[in-house]
Amino acid sequence: MARVPLSKSQLRKEKDNLTSYRRYLPALDLKRQQLMSERVRAARMIGDAEAKVAGAAKAAGDALPMLADERIDVSGLVTLGEVRFGVENVAGIRLPVIEQLEIIQKPYGRMVRPHWVDAVVARLAEAIRLRIEVDIAKKRLAILEKAVATITQRVNLFDKVLIPEAEANIRRINVYLGDNERAAVVAGKIAKRSRTAAGGAR
Output the tens digit of pLDDT for each of the chain's 202 residues: 557 888 899 999 999 999 999 999 999 999 999 999 999 999 998 998 888 878 776 766 665 555 555 555 556 667 788 889 999 998 889 999 999 988 887 776 555 555 666 777 777 788 888 888 889 999 999 999 999 999 999 999 999 999 999 999 999 999 998 888 887 777 777 777 777 766 655 5
pLDDT of residue 27: 93
Q: How far apart are CA 184 and CA 193, in angstroms?
A: 14
The confidence score (pLDDT) of residue 73 equals: 54
- The candidate with the shortest Cα–Cα distance to 131, out of 79, 59, 68, is 79
Q: Is 186 helix (H, G, I), strand (E, B) or coil?
A: helix
- Who's near 130: CB < 8 A, 6+ residues apart? 49, 52, 53, 56
**CATH of the structural domain 8-196, one choice from 1.10.287.3240, 1.10.3210.10, 3.20.20.70, 3.30.9.10:** 1.10.287.3240
| Residue-level pLDDT at 19 | 95
Per-residue pLDDT at 80: 83
Q: How far is the C-alpha of 32 from the C-alpha of 152, rounded, in Å? A: 7
* C-alpha closest to that of 80 among 129, 137, 121: 129
Q: Where are the domains of the chain?
A: 8-196
* Cα end-to-end span (Å), the chain: 55
Q: What does each C-alpha distance from 171 to 54, 90, 145 come to in angstroms?
A: 62, 40, 38
pLDDT at residue number 65: 56
- Give the model's pLDDT for residue 86: 94
The secondary structure element, H or E, covering residue 126 is helix 117-156
Exposed, middle or buried, 72 (CB in 10 Å: 0-12/13-18/19+)? middle
Confidence at residue 199, expressed as pLDDT on a 0 to 100 scale = 62
